[in-house]
Each structure stands twice: as structure tokens, then as C-alpha cells.
């Protein structure tokens, strides 16, 4: 039986962002880990998924390799005191629970922002890396394609993926809209608390921001430098913010302060040739409202962002029962296929045994037959064989889904001496 699927997971549900950012993997690091796992454990069906809110390793093995895989991950990241990270990982060793977890993750049900629109592409990227590393077997191939097909159904039949459902993601969408016509937009994010950090991670994961230059400024400079390194951005000292205002197109303030940080008088010091956009996520506000009196300056505040979020969340939450119903149906169908896979070796052996009998008899009786006679007998005997094998195959698969296929497998083995037959390799 294919009952070997497992997963280790660190996510927003098990660890704070300060821990998760240490585990974030770029594509090169992901590929390195896949190769290490292949070389160390000779595994197939391995998927390494890294997003701003989770890092997970799915794997096919009869053994629980959770501790070993966590070690591989923390060694890849060269973290200090690696033992401190082990407690943040969730370990799922039950096959069915691991399958269900992947379906829920790929659909966005397990995302920090329910219905995350980026997660499916992130899973597809992880799948491609696994395929490039030759770590995808028939099981994982079928599982992921079933998940992708199911996600299309979710998008088509529900409102689960509509709009932006978090402050950080709504901000990302707004930035994307404001800079869509700019060739090389420049964005500065000031303040790297939970919202600012989430915004950075979302931008780094989003394909529409590949041409953007992103500057990060934070009072704790080391945090800006670490996050910039993780996301591929540029950290700038907090005290140089004013120097960069004239150079950037969008400024996002996600800072926790009781004081105004950007004043109208500050912006009046330099000319503004193109539109400059300010997004103030602070409460109380950190940008003086009067800056909009300056030609070319537009200001958005937290209320503008939250108005985008509230209606979206209502629609998504209302869609969850329908989404879970779609996933449940897909998981059952995949489970049936998985059970069928367990009896495929017996079916292939039976086909091989009958085909051998057919060929031996044709060879014996058609030595002097013409080409037309041989062709007719070939068609006839193949048709007979297909009809003979059809019922045993159907009965075997039905017994497998009931959970009592072993008796029928034993009977077929005894009747046709199948133990001597080689197993035909499974195809993806």
C-alpha cells in the first residue's frame, strides 16, 4: 500500500516571524536540500515548500525521518543553536493526514491569510524544483496534479480567491496598481514589524515585482539587513530616509510611533516631477495628511487599505464550507487511485502471465499460418484476453477499496503462480 507519505512543517501557526525568516529558502537553497535528501536517504516523492509563512518538507518513506530532515534544513541555513528550532516544527507521520495537509496548504486554507492567491504558484514552483532534482515519483506527480486541478475548481466555483484579504497583501496589490506603468519602480518600506515584514516577504514571492527596487529601513538596522538579504532587497540606514524620499516612487510606513515621521514641510524641500505615493499603515498616523496639498503627491491610509480587506474576508470565510467540500471529494478520489496503485503490481503480473500463455499458444499453432491468418488470430486472442482479465481487475480494485484485497491477491497468485512474474514498472 502507498501509505508512506509524511511532512515536517514550520509555519505561522507554530513559529513567530523571527523564527520563520531564518528558515526561508530561495530556489538555489531548496534545490541543494533536495539533493542532500536524495543523497543521504535515497528518497523519492520529496517536495520542499518555502513561502513567507511556512517551510515544509513532504516526503515518501516508511520511516519517520523528521529529526533528520530538520537537521538538514537548519544546517542548510547555518543557524546558531539549531536545537532551539526543532520545537517549532510540526511532524505529520500519518499518510492520510499528510495528504490532506498538502491539499489544504495548496488551496490556501492553511495560509495566514485565508485563500492566499500566491500559494498555488509557490507549490508549482516547489514541484518544478523537485522534478528538476528527479525527486518526483508517480505518487507525488498524481497528488500535486490532483491538487492543482482541485484549485482550479475552487477558483471557478467559489469566491475563495477573490480580492486581497490582509493589510500587507492589500498594500502589495495597491503598490502593484500604482506602479503598473513604471518601467523600474522604486519602493521604500519603513518599519519592519509584523505588517512590514509580511509585506516584504509577499513582495519577494510575487512575480509582478521582479523589476521593482525595494529599500528597507528600520530603527533596528540588523533586522533590515537580515530581511533584505532574505528577500533580495536593499537595506538603508533609518537616519537616511529623507535622502531617499526624492528617489523613490512609493513610500510605505508600517511603523509603530506616536509621532509624525513625514511632514508636508519635508516634502516641500525638493521638486516632484512624477507622482509620488505614500501609504501610511500606522495608527496613529505617521504621515501628515497635508502632504496631499503638494502637486503630484497622493496619500493612502490604513482605512483605505482595510476597506479593501473587510469585504474580501467576508466572501472568503463564507466560501470555506464549499471549498472544504470540494477538497474532500478530491481527496477521496485521490485515495481511491492510491489504493488502486497498491494492486497494480498484481494486475500487471496477471496480464504478463496471460500474455505469456497467449504468445506460447500462438507460436505453437500458427507456425505455417499466413500473415492474414496470424493477424486475425492476434486480434481474436487479444480481445479474449482483455475480456477474461476485465472482471478480475474490477473485482480486485473493488476489494482494495473495501480494504480486503489481500485474500483475492493470494488467490490470483496461487492460480497463476504470479510470484514468478516480474513487476512491470509503474509509469507517471
- State yes or no: is 55 an active-site residue: no
Backbone angles phi, psi at 272, to 5 degrees: -120, 105
Given 52, 55, 200, 400, the catalytic residue: 52
Q: CA-to-CA distance for 223 and 190, rounded, in angstroms?
A: 12
| Exposure string over 264-288, b if 16+ CB within 10 A, otherwise e | bebbeeeeeeeebbbbbbbeebbbb
Q: CA-to-CA distance for 134 and 150, rounded, in angstroms?
A: 25
How is the beta sheet containing 250-253 ordered, strand by strand? 234-235, 213-217, 186-190, 250-253, 276-280, 297-301
Q: Are 196 and 21 in contact (CB under 8 A)?
A: no
The secondary structure of residue 290, as a DSSP letter, is: G
Q: CA-to-CA distance for 317 and 162, rounded, in angstroms?
A: 11
- Residue 276 in grid coordinates: 509620488
Give the up-direction half-sphere exposure of residue 84: CA atoms within 13 A in the CB hemisphere.
Answer: 9
C-alpha closest to that of 121 among 9, 202, 24, 35: 202
Backbone angles phi, psi at 403, to 5 degrees: 90, 15
Which residues participate in catalysis according to the annotation?
A: 52
Amino acid at each position: 500500500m502507498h501509505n508512506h507519505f509524511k511532512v515536517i512543517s514550520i509555519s505561522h501557526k507554530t513559529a513567530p516571524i523571527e523564527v520563520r525568516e531564518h528558515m526561508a529558502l530561495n530556489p538555489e537553497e531548496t534545490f541543494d536540500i533536495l539533493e542532500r535528501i536524495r543523497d543521504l536517504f535515497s528518497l523519492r516523492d520529496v517536495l520542499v515548500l518555502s513561502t513567507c509563512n511556512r517551510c515544509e518538507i513532504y516526503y515518501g518513506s516508511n520511516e519517520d525521518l523528521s529529526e533528520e530532515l530538520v537537521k538538514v534544513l537548519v544546517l542548510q541555513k547555518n543557524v546558531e543553536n539549531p536545537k532551539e528550532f526543532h520545537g517549532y516544527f510540526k511532524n505529520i507521520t500519518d499518510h492520510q493526514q499528510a495528504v490532506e495537509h498538502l491539499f489544504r496548504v495548496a488551496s490556501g486554507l492553511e495560509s495566514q491569510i485565508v485563500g492566499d492567491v500566491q500559494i498555488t504558484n509557490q507549490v508549482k514552483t516547489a514541484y518544478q524544483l523537485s522534478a528538476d532534482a528527479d525527486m518526483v515519483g508517480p505518487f507525488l506527480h498524481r497528488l500535486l496534479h490532483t491538487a492543482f486541478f482541485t484549485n482550479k475548481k475552487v477558483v471557478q466555483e467559489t469566491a475563495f480567491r477573490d480580492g486581497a484579504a490582509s493589510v500587507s497583501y492589500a498594500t502589495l496589490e495597491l503598490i502593484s496598481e500604482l506602479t503598473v506603468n513604471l518601467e523600474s519602480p522604486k519602493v521604500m518600506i519603513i518599519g519592519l514589524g509584523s505588517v512590514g515584514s509580511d509585506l516584504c516577504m509577499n513582495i519577494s514571492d510575487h512575480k509582478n515585482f521582479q523589476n521593482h527596487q525595494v529599500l528597507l529601513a528600520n530603527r533596528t538596522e540588523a533586522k533590515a539587513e537580515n530581511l533584505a538579504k532574505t528577500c533580495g532587497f536593499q537595506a538603508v540606514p533609518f537616519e537616511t530616509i529623507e535622502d531617499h524620499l526624492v528617489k523613490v516612487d512609493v513610500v510605505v510606513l508600517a511603523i509603530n510611533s506616536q509621532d509624525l515621521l513625514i511632514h508636508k514641510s519635508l516634502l516641500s524641500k525638493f521638486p516632484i516631477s512624477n507622482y509620488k505615493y505614500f501609504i501610511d499603515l500606522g495608527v496613529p498616523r505617521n504621515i501628515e495628511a497635508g502632504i496631499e496639498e503638494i502637486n503630484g503627491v497622493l496619500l493612502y491610509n490604513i482605512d483605505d487599505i482595510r476597506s479593501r480587506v473587510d469585504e474580501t474576508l467576508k466572501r472568503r470565510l463564507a466560501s470555506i464550507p464549499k471549498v472544504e467540500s470540494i477538497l474532500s471529494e478530491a481527496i477521496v478520489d485521490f485515495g481511491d487511485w492510491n489504493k488502486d496503485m497498491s494492486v497494480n503490481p498484481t494486475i500487471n503480473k496477471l496480464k504478463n502471465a496471460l500474455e505469456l500463455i497467449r504468445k506460447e499458444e500462438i507460436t505453437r499453432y500458427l507456425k505455417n499460418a499466413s500473415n492474414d491468418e496470424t493477424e486475425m488470430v492476434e486480434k481474436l486472442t487479444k480481445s479474449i484476453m482483455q475480456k477474461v482479465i476485465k472482471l478480475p481487475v474490477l473485482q480486485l480494485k473493488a476489494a482494495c477499496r473495501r480494504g480486503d484485497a489481500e485474500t483475492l491477491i493470494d488467490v490470483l497468485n496461487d492460480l497463476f503462480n504470479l510470484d514468478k512474474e516480474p513487476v512491470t514498472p509503474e509509469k507517471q
